[in-house]
Chain A
Amino acid sequence: MVKDPALRQLGEQIATARDAGHSVQIRGGGTRMFYGEPVTSDAPLSVLDMSGWRGIVDYEPSELVLTARAGTPLDEIENLLACHGQMLAFEPPRFGAADTLGGCVATGLSGPRRMAVGGVADFVLGTRLLNAAGEVLRFGGTVMKNVAGYDVSRLLVGSLGVLGVLAEVSLKIMPVPRCEATRMFPLDEAAALQQCLAWRSLPLPISATAWMPEAQGTRGCLWVRLSGSESAVRQGLDRIGGESAAEHDAVAFWSSLRDQTHVFFRQRPLWRIVLPPRAPTLDLGSSLHEWGGSLRWLAGPQDAATLRADVRAIGGSACLYRRDETMARVATFHPMPPALLRIQQRLKQQFDPTGVFNPHRLTQAF
């Protein structure tokens, strides 16, 4: 029995839709609806609005844990953390004031610092989930170490709501680094990749990298951010060299990458490609790198099948992040091998046998 009336009402909406053979489209702040496949269903579809289910439930700075309801605005969370010198270390992209914690976790998108500290899933400690019967289930908890049962909380990160509705999330929190500094290096794409690889195995406090092409020609600029104690950053800067970026410019630059407000991100279609650290240049057109070259944004028309085959061959995957009319029939996410898809289909079948949650949002298969 769900005790809180507002949460119970959400649960009842789910159970009623399920019993009628209908589906729900889960919605928080609506800022991440562009990501993933459109929700489609032959059955009637209603919106499950999570934005009212908000509020920080527990936050104790010395525990490094924050628990909040899924509809809590990311603004509220990040502002509170900032008051205590702490942060969401995975730097979630901010698409607007309506961003919610639930949307952040359900999409699983992380920002520039992901290369150094890990992604959303690395910081999720526990969740409460509304299941297809409208019951509230709790997985994980508010402690750093917890191996009781399977890690369903991390399974939900990036699941786009296809297994159930996130009602509450507990996150591991990190202190804001005492010091940050950014350096720039004029390098072409291949040299920038080589440089990032060379730094990888050194004990340097690199917290973000980005390579951006110049408007004309093959030259570009590699931006590198160091974060940590003053001495660690100072020693790191001595070691890597480069040209200093003014603090104001650097902060603006990294925000424009995190929030995808940089002009590069206005191009359509926009592909989000993830690759192993050694992957070479793709030479497929205008691209911007992050995460030491492991994340590449690729703009402009592509033959989707060829691109995906090439990317797969070097151990990566390609997501059609922002589409345009030329890409209407292309799947958002890289197709999975059949054996892997089968396990995912069975998970969907087990968690949501009638298909009440976000039909087809993650894959055409369910």
Chain B
Amino acid sequence: MTAVQDPQTSSSNIAGFLARIADELPPACVMAQADQTRAFECDGLTLYREIPPVVLLPESETQVVAIVNACREFGIPIVPRGAGTGLSGGATPHPHGVVVGMTRFNRILRIDPEACTAVVQPGVRNLAISEAVAPCGLYYAPDPSSQIACSIGGNVAENAGGVHCLKYGLTVHNVLRVRVVTIEGEIVELGGEAPDSPGLNLLHVFIGSEGMLGLATEVTLRLIPRPQLARVVMASFPSIELAGQGVARIIADGVIPAGLELMDKRSIHMVEPFVHAGYDMDAAAILLCESDGAPEEVVEEIARVEALLHDVGATRLQTSSSEAERLKFWAGRKNAFPAAGRISPDYYCMDGTVPRRRLAEVLRAITGMEKQFGLRCANVFHAGDGNLHPMILFDGNLADEVDRAQAFGAAILELCIEAGGTITGEHGVGIEKIEQMCIQFSRAELDAFAAVKRAFDPCGLLNPLKVIPTLARCAEYGKLHVHRGDVPFPEIPRF
């Protein structure tokens, strides 16, 4: 049984809960009027909105414990929220639940420049950490494109990535310890500054669990020495296939670039007029390959990369000669999302991952789907780790276009599964991809996720209805969707 039941809450519970919580939290931390809570109706996935009945903004761990205890007592679901920049609806409110915003947990508690660690509260912004430790010659490696706004708590919940993952890892590789308030109101420490912990590896299960296993109140991060030099090669290719071959050649040669990013023609044409990064408008694809490290090492690696890309058939090669130029080359890639917003009323950013060797064929298939769905799609992706970010351009004022954009997105995710990949590389499942979970995973696998959930949250109150689809929901989705000729969940009677 995939038993992640929706907790049933009535409005009378909310009133009782508010009376109880008034003893625990100052009034400034409690919002229960629609005009106050409307600001929390969605996260970065704006297609889904729900005005939450209550929003709480605790200021201390003691208050978090009090909130959890009260929610348990009244059977009220909890939706944890960081900066609200998530793209999969992980922080979409529950209609009968409270949103617990962690924005006031915004202090960097300790920095140890010698041990290369920082202890921060979950509401601290990702970029603020690197800024704070820059004087020590250190930085925090994961750099999701929302790093200026997104919080570490949200990064932990989503196992956030960025453009430097191949060399420096995801959030899971850079978090040493998380202090968690459990649904039972207890405080547990997962991981630690020591390299191992006794017992099962709960730290790595917690990271990426989308707020469904506990509330983080403190996070210890691994910092790394800032490389002395970084340079980027920008290569133009006459086809996506050749660019893909360039990626494979670099990696087969034993080079692990600090960043390896691809953009297709539509993306190039979308960003260049906006950013003026000097992109080659004639190229079918542009590959950005960054090398970092000691100066001599960078020079060697760049020379190696240039030779390989030339050999594969790059039509134009440019290497940044200054930090300003390096940032200019990156500016186009990093501004792809705002550029999409500039040429289209709305865009829907997807996040599938496929094995690198399948990139070109998956992109060709996506191009084919543009006609099928009657919408344009621009592609930027983390080529080093096969993580695609197709941006479907549509107009949200046209109901028909919204439906087609969603169908297009779902088709892309299914394509990723078929290519041996996954429906989400770094944005999470949330509510957005919950139906595709039914395709990627069998019922027994979904049961195992539900089992993990029950072990941490026996009450089923933490971010319910996210990530793990109910059996009924998969059956419903299956009716619309016959995959590869198999009817999913054949054990369910159909009429």
Binding site for B on A (CB under 8 A): 60-65, 85-86, 108, 114-115, 118-119, 121-122, 129, 131, 133, 135, 137-139, 141-152, 154-159, 162-163, 174-176, 178, 197-198, 200-204, 228-232, 235, 274-278, 291, 294-295, 315-317, 319, 333-337, 339-341, 343-344, 346-347, 349-351, 362-363
CB-defined contacts of A158 to chain B, threshold 8 Å: 196, 200-201
Give a binary string over B410-423; 1 marks a CB under 8 Å from any A CB, 0 the rest. Answer: 00000000001111
Interface residues in B242-282 by Cβ distance below 8 A to A read 248-249, 251-252, 254-256
Q: Which residues of B contact A340 (CB under 8 A)?
A: 188-190, 199, 202
Q: Given the known A-B contacts A65-B355, A316-B194, are A151 and B386 also in contact in the complex, defined by CB atoms under 8 Å? A: no
A145 touches B165 (CB 8 A): yes
Is the Cβ of A341 less than 8 Å from the Cβ of B451?
no
Count of chain B residues near A, Cβ 8 A: 98
Instruction: Identify which of residues 91-134 in chain B touch chain A, using a CB-to-CB cut-off of 8 Å.
Output: 112-117
Residue on B with the closest CB to A135? Answer: B444
Does B467 count as interface, using CB distance less than 8 angstroms?
Answer: yes
Q: Are A141 and B421 neighbours in the complex by a CB distance under 8 Å?
A: yes
Closest to A334 in B: B198
Checking A62, A276, A336 against B199 with a beta-carbon cut-off of 8 angstroms, the contacting residue is A336
Q: Chain B residues near A204 (CB, 8 Å)?
A: 225
- Of all A-B residue pairs in the complex, the 6 with the closest CB atoms, nearest first, are A276-B193, A144-B385, A175-B254, A145-B425, A350-B451, A231-B296
User: Can you report 16 A-B residue pairs in the complex whose CB atoms are below 8 A from each other?
Assistant: A60-B357, A108-B201, A138-B442, A144-B385, A147-B424, A148-B429, A202-B225, A231-B296, A231-B297, A276-B194, A277-B114, A295-B195, A315-B193, A343-B188, A347-B200, A351-B448
Task: Knowing A62-B248, A133-B444, A340-B199, say if A150 contacts B114 (CB, 8 Å).
Answer: no
Q: Which residues of A contact B170 (CB under 8 A)?
A: 145
A277 touches B353 (CB 8 A): no
B197 to A, closest residue via Cβ:
A317
Query: Which residues of chain B come closer than 8 Å to A63, judged between CB atoms?
Result: 251, 355-357
Which chain B residue lies CB-closest to A152?
B448
Question: Do A141 and B422 touch across chains, with their CB atoms under 8 A apart?
Answer: yes
A346: chain B residues within 8 A (beta carbon): 454-456, 458
A129 to B449, CA, bound (A): 13
Q: Which of B192, B198, B424 contacts A333 (CB 8 A)?
A: B198
Q: How far is the CA of A78 from the CA of B366 in the complex (A)?
A: 38
Given contacts A141-B421, A351-B451, contact A154 B172 (CB under 8 A): yes
Determine which of A114, A291, A344 lies in contact with B200 in the assembled complex, contact meaning CB atoms within 8 Å.
Answer: A344
If A64-B251, A151-B204, A317-B194 touch, whether A201 touches B225 (CB-CB below 8 Å) is: yes
Query: What B residues does A148 contact at CB under 8 A?
Result: 422-424, 429, 433, 437, 440-441
User: Once the chains bind, are B355 and A147 in contact (CB under 8 Å)?
Assistant: no
Evaluate contact between B192 and A315: CB separation under 8 angstroms. yes
CA of A346 to CA of B199 in the docked complex: distance in angstroms? 13
Is the pair A315, B194 in contact by a Cβ cutoff of 8 Å? yes
Contact surface of B with A, Cβ cutoff 8 Å: 112-117, 136-138, 158-159, 161, 165-166, 169-170, 172-173, 182, 184, 186-190, 192-202, 204-205, 207-209, 213, 225-228, 248-249, 251-252, 254-256, 293-294, 296-297, 300-301, 353-357, 382, 384-387, 420-429, 433, 437, 440-442, 444-446, 448-449, 451-456, 458, 467-468
- Is there contact, CB below 8 Å, between B193 and A203? no
- Asked if residues A317 and B227 are in contact (CB atoms below 8 Å), the reply is no
Residues of A within 8 A of B301 (CB): 229
A275 and B256 alpha carbons, distance in the complex (Å): 30
State whether B251 touches A278 (Cβ < 8 A).
no
| Known pairs A174-B256, A317-B197 / 11 extra A-B pairs, C-beta < 8 Å | A143-B387, A143-B422, A144-B384, A145-B385, A155-B204, A201-B114, A235-B294, A277-B115, A316-B192, A343-B456, A350-B454
Q: A144-B386, A150-B209, A350-B454 are in contact. Are A121 and B201 (CB under 8 A)?
A: yes
- Alpha-carbon distance A201/B356, docked complex (angstroms): 33
CB–CB A145/B444 < 8 A = no
Minimal beta-carbon separation of A40 from chain B (angstroms):
18
Q: Which residues of B contact A341 (CB under 8 A)?
A: 199
Residue of A nearest to B252 (CB): A62
Beyond A142-B420, A148-B422, A149-B468, whether A159 also contacts B201 by CB under 8 A is yes
A191 to chain B, nearest CB (A): 15
Chain A's closest residue to B296 (CB) is A231
Residues of A within 8 A of B195 (CB): 114-115, 119, 274, 291, 294-295
Residue contact B193 to A141, C-beta cutoff 8 Å? no
